[in-house]
Amino acid sequence: MMKDLGVKPYLYPMPTYMIATYNEDDTVDAMMMAWGGICAEDMVALNLEADHKTVANLRARGAFTLSVPGMDTIKESDYLGTISGNKSPDKFARTGLHAVKSTRVDAPIITEYPLTLECTVAEFQDQPYGLRILGKIVNVLADEKVLDELGRVDAGKLNAFAFDQMRNGYYAMGEKAGLAWNIGAEYLKD
């Protein structure tokens, strides 16, 4: 029997992403988020609260990196999504994570994250329901340890985790369950 839960943001999985920008003093700011994702072949959409430090940095610098955190950095990633850069400007330094400057965009690359999209800000969309930021992907960097024999990203090797909005949990992802556009092929038969 189905139970009516009302209006809730309940979709699963919600991927977790790490947005990295530079502060005005060139220190690294990073924020974990789950409200966003790919919206076109070369575009990402980020849904953020306008008062985040990250948003101020995006407005000032016009660039960011978007990474996929793995289970090996879940504690650091959770912390970066918990504390505000407005209240704790040294939050990235506290984690012990490392960053290098991107050669393509004015943003840091967190070296511990195995997959990073280098992006420029394409548009700020102030909507009645919140702020959406569209970013243009200018390059993707992947650690060789997450690539398959053909040089493609292997999702199982990312060791990523998803956010559970319903119970505030993180869940490991990675086991392949089937071949896309193939596992349901039997229903294509006439």
CA angle 104, 112, 70 (to 5 degrees): 115
Domain with residues 14-150, CATH architecture = Roll (2.30)
In this predicted structure, what is the pLDDT of residue 190? Answer: 74
Q: In terms of residues, how long is the chain?
A: 190
Measured in whole angstroms, how far is the alpha carbon of residue 151 from the centre of its chain?
Answer: 22
Here the tokens at position 1 are: 């029997």
- Residue ranges per structural domain of the chain: 14-150
Calculate Rg over the CA atoms of the chain: 18
In this predicted structure, what is the pLDDT of residue 11? Answer: 86
In this predicted structure, what is the pLDDT of residue 175? Answer: 85
* Nearest-angstrom CA–CA distance, 184 and 182: 5
In this predicted structure, what is the pLDDT of residue 133? Answer: 98
Three-class secondary structure of residue 91 per DSSP? helix
Three-class secondary structure of residue 119 per DSSP? strand
pLDDT means per 10 residues, the chain with 190 residues, are 91 93 97 94 96 97 97 97 92 97 98 98 94 98 97 95 92 89 88
Which secondary structure element, helix H or strand E, spans residue 188, and what is its range? none
